[in-house]
Amino acid sequence: MPKSFKLIEDKFSEADNERQWTYELEITFNYRPVKKATITDHFLISHKDVITNQLIMELLEEMNGETLEPTKYKGRRKVFKWEGDYNDERYRIIFWFEDNSSDWLWIRDCFPC
């Protein structure tokens, strides 16, 4: 796990029916400092290629400094999709900013492209 990431909460959300891991981190995305990221287990359920939280954290480190336009999305959230190469493989991360927060990312999906 990159040194700049620290697990601060590991819980099961009854409301969302999913496991959630929240990490403290320091990256910049769309010119904003990001202090927390929550990974949900949605990716474990949706894809056969299981991506570990450690790999997701490493990919977020690769994403550090990126500027992206949100993808089209139904509803009120602006959802982002990042694709990048890491260790000779291409990955995609689907994420958004936590409601009413500009420094907290929620990662819904991460999988090989």
Across 14-28, 36-50, 75-89, 92-106, least confident range: 36-50
The one-character DSSP state at 1 is -
CB atoms within 10 A of CB 44: 14
Which one is predicted more confidently, 85 or 35?
35
Spell out the domain ranges in the chain.
6-112
Mean of pLDDT values over 50-58: 80
At 1 the pLDDT is 46
Residues in a beta bridge with 107: 39, 95
Report DSSP letters for 54-99, one per residue. HHHHHHHHHHTT---PPBP-SSS--EEEEEEEETTEEEEEEEEEPT
What is d(CA 41, CA 22) in angstroms, rounded to the nearest whole number? 12
50 has pLDDT over 70: no
Quick one: how far is CA 13 from the chain centroid?
A: 17
At 68 the pLDDT is 93
Q: What is the mean pLDDT of the chain?
A: 84
At 44 the pLDDT is 59
User: Nearest 5 degrees, angle CA 67-CA 73-CA 74?
Assistant: 155
